[in-house]
A and B are shown apart, each in its own frame.
Chain A
Amino acid sequence: METKTGEPLIKIGLLEEALNLARANSLWPMTFGLACCAIEMMAAGAARFDLDRFGAGVFRPSPRQSDLMIVAGTISKKMAPAVVRLWEQMPAPKWVIAMGNCAISGGPFYYPTQYAIVPGADLIIPVDVYVPGCPPRPEGLIEGILHLEEKITKRGRLRKFRDVK
């Protein structure tokens, strides 16, 4: 698994930077929601917040065509294998956002004797950006996606994002 997302064998400098810029500006998320955070994710894609402004609004139904997995909700132990499988089906380069407290650490469903919840998406797949909240507001998710874009381009926040509310 590491071989696919690790350091590239050959570095191609400028082209890689251009590709990263393109990747950051066209993050197609997967149509995939686990619980109530997905409602906020849908709100982020709808008219009031409109993720499509940043080129991240093309929710692809197939994992083969998506770049970004937004784990929006509680991962139950029964659901965990499906989540891992979806992540494995995505083509590299791919990124994961853990949205909401449940996806970060199990949230309110995690207590010592519980037996049903995976406490955190990062226990089963590598997470790039954590968006806290229960659930986070759509602005929070947009902020998370902008952070991910910074992470991909390895630059500071681009000018266009500065006045995005």
Chain B
Amino acid sequence: MDNLVRILGTDLGRMLAGLIGVIALVSVNALFLIWMERKVAAHMQLRPGPMEVGWHGAIQTIADALKLMGKELITPAEVDRSVYLLAPIVVFLPVLLSFLVIPFSQTLVIRDMNVGVLLILAFAALTVLAILMAGWASNNKYAVFGSIRSVAQNVAYEIPLLITVMSPILMVGSYRLTDIVAAQEKFWFIVSQPLAFILYITCATAETNRAPFDLPEAESELVAGFHTEYSGMRFGLFFLAEYTNMFIVAALATIFFLGGWRGPVLPGWVWFLLKVYAIIFLIMWFRWTFPRVRFDQLITFAWKILIPLAFANLLLTALVMKLM
């Protein structure tokens, strides 16, 4: 026991424990989120959703995962082999790394870096590369179209996202995520930055490629988008990355605007997870309520509305901070 504590006390031990914890969290989170998505979708369409596999379909996702692992892995003849095989790993790794700096409670954070926000946003940008790799290497016109759209969309929406996030950072004066939560002791930033919250949620929905901004996967036009040619667990990794990405953007929204782990009675990490899943429910609600936007509308919305609004919000915040 003593030895275990000593090992966990070292930096390496802390990283190892963190890694195991993160992998467990990522898999359980994905299993739960996919079930939740299907249930939310079903109830919004007045149907029960998965019912027969486990209690209210509770182990439906486990059956899906097992099945995906047992499927044949097809590598089509004309693909760019190395890039094709690398893409599912490249899409998954940065997502895993982002958990490094997310504070689940005051003490439950693997590494409390002073550049936490930048780290997460930089890793989020890597996802675009993986999508481009997947689409290009597949040697399939639908996959290429899907990845082109995805890259255009992600690049366009990353700019307002970054600018929006700058306003709460300006109020705190630190990139450290724990500092940002600590600064929300009196009130949550959603009170002082309501516009930033709305902008952030909009951009986050687009960043995670979800409806109404799910053009990269628009099935009526593009089959399955950039992962058209991936089968079995390779496709499963894209799925896993998508749902983990959702968790990360929701966690960032919680940290920036909803006071992170702060809340009465319950322990910090419970509050944190509650808020994260509330945000994820909101994003799912969008998906099953709004129709898909057209591509030109999507880009116009980003460049002509979101970016000016984000800049205005940033300037206003800077002005108020200066006057106060």
**Chain B contact residues, majority secondary structure:** loop
Which of B47, B60, B67, B230 contacts A50 (CB under 8 A)?
Answer: B47
A54 to B64 alpha-carbon distance, docked (Å): 12
Which of A52, A60, A65, A164 contacts B42 (CB under 8 A)?
Answer: A52
Q: Does B89 contact A (CB under 8 A)?
A: no
A161 to B53 alpha-carbon distance, docked (Å): 11
Within 8 A of B (CB), among A54-74: 54-55, 57-58, 60-62, 64-65, 67
Contact (Cβ within 8 A) A62 B228:
yes
Contact (Cβ within 8 A) A22 B63:
yes
Q: Which residues of A contact B235 (CB under 8 A)?
A: 64-65
Contact (Cβ within 8 A) A91 B67:
no
Q: Which residues of A contact B71 (CB under 8 A)?
A: 67, 91-93
Within 8 A of B (CB), among A77-98: 89, 91-93
A21 to B63 alpha-carbon distance, docked (Å): 8
Number of interface residues of B (CB under 8 A): 33
Q: Which residues of B contact A155 (CB under 8 A)?
A: none
Q: Does A137 contact B (CB under 8 A)?
A: no
Mask of A116-127 contacts with B, CB within 8 angstroms, 1/0? 000000000000
A21, A26, A48: most-surrounded residue (chain B CB, <10 A)? A26
A53, A62, A89: most-surrounded residue (chain B CB, <10 A)? A62
Q: Which residues of B contact A36 (CB under 8 A)?
A: none
Name the distance in Å between B77's Cβ and chain A's nearest Cβ.
Answer: 12
Contact (Cβ within 8 A) B231 A65:
yes
A5 to B224 alpha-carbon distance, docked (Å): 25
Q: Does A1 contact B (CB under 8 A)?
A: no
Q: Which residues of B contact A134 (CB under 8 A)?
A: none
Contact (Cβ within 8 A) B72 A53:
no
Q: Does B45 contact A (CB under 8 A)?
A: yes
Q: Which residues of A contact B51 (CB under 8 A)?
A: 53
Q: Does B18 contact A (CB under 8 A)?
A: no
Q: Which residues of B contact A23 (CB under 8 A)?
A: 67, 70
Contact (Cβ within 8 A) B70 A22:
yes
Contact (Cβ within 8 A) A4 B64:
no
Given A50-B42, A64-B235, A160:B64 Cβ within 8 A: no
Within 8 A of B (CB), among A6-51: 18-19, 21-23, 25-26, 31, 46-48, 50
A-B CB contact pairs (8 Å), 19 listed: A4-B72, A21-B63, A23-B70, A26-B53, A26-B64, A46-B45, A47-B47, A52-B38, A52-B42, A52-B50, A54-B53, A62-B223, A64-B229, A64-B231, A64-B235, A65-B224, A65-B235, A67-B67, A92-B72
- A: which residues have CB within 8 A of B? 4, 18-19, 21-23, 25-26, 31, 46-48, 50, 52-55, 57-58, 60-62, 64-65, 67, 89, 91-93, 160-161, 164
Per CB-CB distance, the 3 closest pairs between chain A and chain B, nearest first, are A22-B66, A91-B72, A62-B224
